Amino acid sequence: MPEATLMERQVIRKVAIRIMPFVTIGYFLASLDRVNVGFAALQMNKDIGLSAAAFGFGAGLFFVAYCLFAVPCNMLMVRIGARRWLSFVMVAWGAISAAMAFVAGPNSFYALRFVLGIAEAGFFPGVIYLLTLWFPTHHRSRMVAILMMALPVSSVLGSPLSAALLLTDGWLGLRGWHWLFIIEGFPAVLMGIGCALVLPRSIRSARFLNDAQKTWLETDIAGKRQEDTIAGSLSFWQVMGNKYVLLLTLIYIGGTSVTNALSLWQPQIIKAYNLTTMEVGMLNSIPFAIASVAMYLWASHSDRTGERTLHTALPLGLATLGLICTMLVHSLVPMIVVLCVVIASASMIKGPFWALATEMLPVSISALAIGQINSLNNLGVFGATYAIGAIRDATGSFTFAMLPFVAVCGIAGLVALWVGRARKNGALAVMPGIQSVGTAD
């Protein structure tokens, strides 16, 4: 046993060093290129004639495209291979993000946001599937948390950077928001080109592991697959319509609709307090800085205890209370404090949630199910993003814009508790065609 423990530590450390920096930086750039439109809007909306509702609709079209193409992209990645597929999508989204500098009106804005969603649809679900191929289940929550720390960190670093780029207004005849898209889109192209040099094709082809380490890791991963006994195969539509996959999707929407929508709208919420662009950039980074630390600590605790359900449900409950408070505070400092609570809480679910989901789902259908969860989740994010703009236009303020999130986040927390209880009681073992998803927390 001591030898096995030492072997495990050595292998996981080597795999994490090779895999995690690359995918985390990639996800950082994906998040940055997805939400930098929130800062660009401070100049762009007036320049191209976008109302709040039109901006919310166009920004949200990214998530509609993501919804439509996440599953097909993940299926293609399994066939093509992670290295080539992730390289392609990174180059594509970087180029499209840079092309956002050339939008001239609502229609071109809508079109490029939709195409950007197609390009990014293959990255995150593909990476989650990749982690199931390289990390045993009891390490995944922490690895997913490391990956998803890129989301808040992209806002921590990206907020002041984006604000500073807006101040380049007039350089070489371009507006500040033009430079924002061009400069922040280019690094993804470089990362995509370097992808083939970083990601190994398989465990057996990984040169950074010796033969004994490869055998140990292959055996451990294969053991999980043997536990995922399938009584008959599941069709595409059986996976798509499986009620447990849909319930997992609803749980995930509860957290991501909040973090994604606020990533896009928070700069404008803060700007409403008559602050300068740089002040908005600095204040916007605070909630995400706190969230990045909270995500990792919470996911590490989940891995140490092996508990997933409460680690998912409790942050959703706290986020729900915070969202209610956003409608009751009206001055800057209390609003920043409440936004810190909301964004940190909603972010904390991500590591435990994906550990829960990948533990519940057999490896044979995990790629498809992960794509489905991420796909429908983004449809929910579209609705949330558009709702904020529509409520802002209808009421003239952001006071009641968070009301839909209160319901979604609260329901998601309750569903998480129900799934956890059913899982503990073995009820999930009756999923059609799936026999071994009922392990208890």
Within 10 angstroms of residue 92's Cβ, the number of other Cβ atoms is 20
Q: Are 27 and 148 in contact (CB under 8 A)?
A: yes
Helix (H, G, I), strand (E, B), or coil: what is residue 296?
Answer: helix
pLDDT at 319: 92
pLDDT at 414: 93
Task: Write the CA distances from 24 to 16, 148, 214, 381, 417, integer angstroms.
Answer: 11, 7, 23, 22, 30
For 114, residues 6+ apart whose C-beta sits below 8 A from its C-beta are: 61, 62, 64, 65
pLDDT(336) > 60: yes
Average pLDDT over residues 292-303: 85
pLDDT(438) > 70: no
410 or 50, higher pLDDT: 410
pLDDT band per the 50, 70, 90 thresholds, residue 364: low
Helix (H, G, I), strand (E, B), or coil: what is residue 434?
Answer: strand
Mean pLDDT of the chain: 80
pLDDT band per the 50, 70, 90 thresholds, residue 315: very high
Return the C-alpha torsion angle 189, 195, 197, 201, nearest 10: -160
Q: Count CA atoms closer than 13 A to 135's CA, side-chain side.
A: 28
Instruction: Quote the CA–CA distance of 5 and 11 in Å, as a whole number.
Output: 10
Tokens representing residue 145 in the block: 């948390």
Homologous superfamily (CATH) for 9-198+218-430: MFS general substrate transporter like domains (1.20.1250.20)
122 or 186, higher pLDDT: 186
Instruction: Quote the CA–CA distance of 121 and 131 in Å, as a whole number.
Output: 17
Question: Which residues sit opposite 230 in a β-bridge?
Answer: 434
The percentage of residues in the chain with a pLDDT greater than 70, rounded to a whole number, is 88
Digit-coded pLDDT (tens) for 390-405: 888 787 777 787 888 8
Long-range contacts from 420-423, C-beta under 8 angstroms, 24+ separation: 420/308, 420/309, 420/310, 420/312, 420/313, 421/309, 423/309, 423/360
Digit-coded pLDDT (tens) for 91-129: 998 999 899 888 888 899 999 999 998 888 878 777 877
Q: Are 360 and 247 in contact (CB under 8 A)?
A: no
Instruction: Quote the CA–CA distance of 4 and 413 in Å, as a whole number.
Output: 38
pLDDT(340) > 80: yes
pLDDT band per the 50, 70, 90 thresholds, residue 230: very low
Average pLDDT over residues 405-431: 78
Query: Which of 237-246, 303-312, 394-403 reaches the highest mean pLDDT?
Result: 303-312
Residue in the block written with tokens 């952001």 = 398
pLDDT(148) > 90: no
Instruction: Quote the CA–CA distance of 390 and 397 in Å, as a whole number.
Output: 10
Average pLDDT over residues 16-40: 83
Phi, psi of 204 (to 5 degrees): -65, -30
